[in-house]
Amino acid sequence: MIEAFRKIWRFAGEERANINKSVAVKFLNAVFHMLEVSAIYFVIVALTQGVAGNDAAWTALAFMAVSIIGNAVTTAFSKNQQTHAGYFMAANERIKIGNLLKGVPMGFFNENSLGEVTGVCTTVLGNIEMLVPMVLVDIMGGLIGTVVFTAMILVFEWRVGLVALAGIFVYFLIVSSMEKKSAAIAPNAQKSQTALTSAVLEYVQGMGIVKSFNLSGRGDKRAQDALEYNRKSNLDMEKLMTPYTIFQELVLQIAGIAMMSVSIFCWIDGTMSIANALMCIVMSFLVFGQIKLFGMGMSMLRLASASIDRTLQTEGMEQMDEKGKAFSPKSHGIEFKNVHFSYGNTPTAGGREILHGIDVTLPDRTTTAVIGPSGSGKTTLCNLIARFWDVDSGSVKIGGKDVREYTLESLMEQISMVFQNVYLFADTIENNIKFGRPQATHAEVAEAARKACCADFIEALSDGYDTVIGEGGASLSGGEKQRISIARAMLKDAPIVILDEATANVDPENEDRLQKAIEELTRDKTIIMIAHRLKTVRNSDQILVVDEGRIVQKGKHEELIGQEGIYADFVLGRKEAIGWKLNA
């Protein structure tokens, strides 16, 4: 229990001050409750002693009014501090995880379910936001209130106070036992919640496939299994807690009856006044209300602790930016030197080597086209430049410096990428275009859109550049998304441009205009492009032919066309495709 407290306290970070304020105000709250009890005492004394006049009533009313107002103010303040602490603890952690995700290798998203990270950032941190401040404040506030009320009972009658202390002691023993038992099952409940989020997210994202294969009700087995796992783990938690909860309530009820009985017997034998006896009976209904707050906090302690453990595991993501420096090179030539790479980190770790000893130079301000069969390693080659992964051995250099020497931020400042599969955010078109350069003006955005041949369809929309598009750009066609992606790269204006079949989804009537836009984008820059269109490839300064993770041909179009091999076959295949027609 102490270790769980320490963990929560460390995790609270800057919000510890707000939690401290909330606990301190809980003490004041207990004092105001004492005034409420004092008001009752004045009335009982007046009734039992036959005091005439309205003084006792007015005194009781004054105490009650102060108690009500004080309780309202302190409760509101305490809740505000709890809410502030919970919200910012979760918000700060989400931002921290977001920043960490920027520095992980892209392989992280292959080896780890994105749904698990999503689950941590939503459900797990949602639990922390709700539970952690409440747990700390309820436990500390419950202890403070219990001490205050028990002290008052001891003042009225020490024997009744001892009964109350005995009930509290037994209650603590039950809570301690429950807390130890829950330690074994709470992490499993937390794990099941994360697994459920992951499975549901995957199922929703793959809904199109499920429907296309008519697998509704059958293609969701993983989601159904996750639901069952979550149901069972939560039921196991409830089954474990319920007997303890019943026993806790029973102990408090018995202790309350015992307090009443002792109070009555003490009055009967004449060792306690009727006023004090009645007051102790009243207190038997009040004293255990505070200890219940403590019990509620303790029952949630392990779940809060398990949520923090799961979040801290996510913080342990491998980072690629630990020793980098912010460079801004004058030259933007790219050099691969004896590069070996596998997606499983190393071949001995179970990963299949994708690139084998790549040695090639891409001179500054030249265009290099990369062609090759599907799965040959073309995209991997480009992704290593942007350091989506780190090489197993060898080096990739920009401007003479290994990409691992750059901070990721300074490295990405040098590179613009246009992917074949474009992702757009659920935001306005303007914000999507200036994603890589947020400070850009509307005029600059509009100019980039014009050059990328997408200004016409944007301006035709009802809200123009302020049109909000669906997540992933779902409300746009493939060609429209592609052109917005090119406009985004134009606006960023990085010295290195990587094009992954950038014209693949563009309709024929816009292809020529877009080709001119790409020429505008790539002017005086270092270009590496994955391409399958002959007119895109033939004008390149250098062509790399990749096959099975090796560069098997290298040179200009005029050199390679005369050689037997993949490039000549590629050109012949493209000419046949262009000349193909359907005879009537």
Query: What is the per-residue pLDDT across 104-149, written as a single tens digit (0 to 9) for each?
Result: 776 666 555 566 777 778 778 887 888 777 777 777 777 777 887 7
Pairwise CA distance, residues 64 & 289, whole Å: 19
What is the per-residue pLDDT for 364?
Answer: 92
What is the per-residue pLDDT for 542?
Answer: 92
> What's phi and psi for 249, nearest 5 deg?
-65, -40
Tokens of 560: 């390679």
pLDDT tens readout for residues 354-411 = 899 999 999 999 989 998 888 888 888 988 998 888 888 999 999 999 998 888 888 8
Report the pLDDT averaged over residues 534-544: 82
Tokens of 420: 């074949």
Pairwise CA distance, residues 563 & 540, whole Å: 17
The alpha carbon torsion through 374, 379, 384, 386 (nearest 10 deg) reads: 180
pLDDT at 512 over 90: no
What is the per-residue pLDDT for 220?
Answer: 67
What is the per-residue pLDDT for 511?
Answer: 65
Of 143, 167, 156, nearest in space to 282 by CA: 156
Least trusted range by pLDDT, from 23-32, 203-212, 351-360, 425-434: 203-212
At residue 496 the predicted structure's pLDDT band, cuts being 50, 70 and 90, is very high
What is the per-residue pLDDT for 216?
Answer: 58
Report the pLDDT averaged over residues 23-32: 81
At residue 340 the predicted structure's pLDDT band, cuts being 50, 70 and 90, is very high
Pairwise CA distance, residues 257 & 163, whole Å: 10
pLDDT, greater one: 56 or 582: 56
Report the pLDDT averaged over residues 401-427: 84
Mean pLDDT of the chain: 80
pLDDT, greater one: 209 or 198: 198
**Residues 559, 565, 567, 572, CA torsion sign:** positive
Least trusted range by pLDDT, from 67-76, 86-95, 193-202: 193-202
Pairwise CA distance, residues 81 & 16, whole Å: 10
Of 360, 517, 361, 488, nearest in space to 419 by CA: 488
At residue 335 the predicted structure's pLDDT band, cuts being 50, 70 and 90, is very high
At residue 349 the predicted structure's pLDDT band, cuts being 50, 70 and 90, is very low
Q: Are 153 and 161 in contact (CB under 8 A)?
A: yes
pLDDT at 459 over 80: yes
Q: What one-character-per-residue DSSP string does 46-111 give?
A: HHHHT--SSHHHHHHHHHHHHHHHHHHHHHHHHHHHHHHHHHHHHHHHHHHHHHHHHTS-TTHHHH
pLDDT at 352 over 90: no
pLDDT at 219 over 80: no
What is the per-residue pLDDT for 41?
Answer: 80
What is the per-residue pLDDT for 430?
Answer: 92
CA 263 to chain CA centroid, nearest Å? 56
Least trusted range by pLDDT, from 252-256, 287-291, 386-390: 287-291
pLDDT tens readout for residues 30-51 = 788 878 888 888 888 787 776 6
What is the per-residue pLDDT for 339?
Answer: 94
What is the per-residue pLDDT for 337?
Answer: 95
At residue 178 the predicted structure's pLDDT band, cuts being 50, 70 and 90, is confident
pLDDT at 473 over 70: no
At residue 581 the predicted structure's pLDDT band, cuts being 50, 70 and 90, is very low
What is the per-residue pLDDT for 571?
Answer: 79
Whole-model pTM above 0.75? no
Kindly list the structural domains of the chain, giving each domain's residue range(s) and its CATH number in brackets, ordered by start.
2-315 (1.20.1560.10)
pLDDT at 346 over 50: no
pLDDT, greater one: 201 or 127: 127
Report the pLDDT averaged over residues 439-463: 88
pLDDT, greater one: 493 or 292: 493
pLDDT at 347 over 50: no
pLDDT at 468 over 50: yes
